[in-house]
Structure 1
Amino acid sequence: MFALLSRVYSAFAPPTVEKRKDGVIRFGILGAAKIAPMALILPAKSHPEVVVHAIAARDRTRAEEFAKKHGIPVVRDSYQEILDDPDIDAVFIPLPNSLHYEWAVRSVRAGKHVLLEKPSVNNATEAAILFGLPQLAKEQADAPVVLEAFHNRFHPAVHKFLTFVSPADVVHAHTDSMVSSWLTAKDNIEFNYAMGGGSMMMLGTYNFGILRMVFGADPVECVACDTHVFGDGVHDRCDTDFAAQFRFPNGGLGDARSTLRGPLLWKPSEARVTHREVVLPADDKAGEPLPEGQEKARTRVVTLHGFIHAVLWHRIDVKDTYVVRNKADGRPLRTWTETQSHKAYTYRDAGPEFADAAPAGEPWWMSYRWQLEEFVNRVKGRRTQFWVLGEDSTAQMRMVDMAYEKSGLGLRPTSEYR
């Protein structure tokens, strides 16, 4: 319990480190969004190469209040003034989803590196344009860095979990996530269609991302997608919750369930992966050697509790069911189950296969802090072990579009900005 309290306290009150004199990346924030403190301002405190330098919002008074509260030295009158500021190297875009595309494009054209809140854009059409910008071409030596901020994909727990998953053998994956209803109101941005709202956009995209990682592929079809809406004639195109199922290239099925109107008692997000039975090789080191004419098979179920905010709490459960049987007639001779649980708050915890992961990090690092570390590494031209490529972000939006089309609610609107 002490370790839990200490970790969570440090996560939300990280130590402020001395900033390097040269080569510091100065961020500008577009919009005084409520996610900005956790996604950038807190992680930046403990990063020696990051300074949050400026902010702009639609309402300057709001920007000034936000800047004063969070110690941001410069307030600009507009988003464009942030992009025109030569002292700013990178921008963080936590604007409403429908504005991500336009301001990410503007930022890239201004030569700024971009940390872009997820989902990266409103639909796959916008993603193809954004990530296909000529300024981002690999042959451009000074190409801006653009990262869709899927922070959970940088946490050690997710990668430790994936070491127990064999994508080709996955037959079913279940994912669920939730936000309590007391955190969302009908007139909030979460349910504003024009602003890119909906439970799939705001939360379910995490489920979609983990499914794609589990299967190591993009889905070939959305089999079903059921949604609920407020049904008041105003919010009828924004899903308050959804349940979708996808078929993947290996024939496996992936389920995703999310709600923004969940119960008061928080339930950690969950990803549960069931593998097909596999016959283990004859020279398998686990267990005693088998007599001639017998074989050993295993069915594995791996569950990651807390795949979105692993720093608060998570657990990886691995359940292996074994059977020893006659090869000739398939008659089972012995069956048993072995279970084990794991945690990984740092890459040191994650195991020897992550020995080269840099940096070692601290147990209290939020996934946002791990993400910022890799963002800085990429900007600096250093090696990054984990990343979200533009092609990956585009494929992610194709999956979101697939689900919205199946649901009958239709795609989020495409920006007219070019």
Structure 2
Amino acid sequence: MKQNGVNVGVVQRSAGGNAVKAAAYEAGEKLDDITTGQTFDFTRKADEVAHKEIILPADAPAWASDRASLWQAAERAETRGNSQTARTMVLDIPREIPTDLQADFARSMLRPYAEQGMAVDFAIHRITASDGGANDHIHAMLTMRRFDQSTETGFSKNKARDWNDIFADFSKGRKPTGEKMKAYRDDLADRATAWCQSNGVALEISYKSNEALGKPAAEPTLPRWHFKKLEQTGEVTPDLAEVLQFRQQKKEAVQEATAAEAEIIDLTERLKRAKPIPRPTDPKAILADLTKDAKEASIQSLWRLTDAENAQRQHATAKPKGFWCRFNGKLRQWEEERERLDRAFAEATQTRVEAIEHLEKEKTNLRPKAERTAKENEEANKRELATTKPAEAYKVNEELARQIKREKAKEFLERNPPPKKKSPDEENAYKGMRM
């Protein structure tokens, strides 16, 4: 099962959020907010954006297909200083999904929201992860109101509060738990897994949290300015140094656990091959093994007798007939061959009788030995069983190996907990001091 990440939130003015700004960042574009007169330019991020698209409900007006117009209208529809102007989602894309299918995967995950009446603006970002692999993910923004062309802004006067249930009510920064959260994550996982099955991707996806899967908490996400400072000046901030050190230690721990898992499997296979084969304890089987030569001779004698009988029968049907056969010698030749076949048949019969007698004699003579050997083997098996592990111990148990791997990773993270996330005040104070 592939564990995938999902984050859901809101764009809120009281926290400095702006839907036009968030859309510009998501799409790597330059957008103007005519309400505030601000311009948000994120074209420097355009290289990260591999695909962008807007999915609209059936009743959406034509202007909603334009990104700037859509989010300018969403901003105008909200009048309070602490309004929520958009909902946001970030979905990880499993590395197993080919790049040419990622857009279709994103549509399948987000289209149900458009069917509920939301406008869904999404983009696929492709960046490199800390382990050097792909960190492809989906950024999506969703409107908070249904469309209503009778209003000045194009959105309904009332927010669609029923949509909160779809998202387990992430509004106002809540982080819900319990049944609603579980249902939300399960719904995402079912949709993702169904898409994979329909598109030939052998993958089962889970959006459960680390806590639900019994894993330690993930490391905190640092603000991007830590990484930008590293790129621009080469300077590593103390917080970033802690995270980078933790990532390296975690990578080494995973490698150690993987090596331990491979060692367990290898050792188990070696023990399995070294397991002693139990000696036979059935007297009949032992007797059959002791008399196999005599039994083989008996079988060979039966074949010879059968061949001799068949030769006699074929020869009898070929007897020459007629007056001239007595004078040309053919009848005499036939009679001589008949005498030879009779002698061969008699010899085969005698051999068969002797083989059967020998087999019975061997059985009689060797039966006590077979019974004695069976008892000796049974005692030997008991002694070996007392000094070796049961057969189950030699089976390769993949689940056990995975459990050991998880326990090793958990033990490491308990010894080396992730760096604690700083409060906003601490972060701002530190940033102001360093920048």
TM class, shorter-chain normalised? under 0.3
Q: Which has the larger radius of gyration?
A: 2
Structure (1/2) with the larger helix percentage: 2
Structure number with higher relative contact order (C-alpha < 8 Å, ≥ 6 residues apart): 1
Structure (1/2) with the larger strand percentage: 1
TM-score by length of 2: 0.23
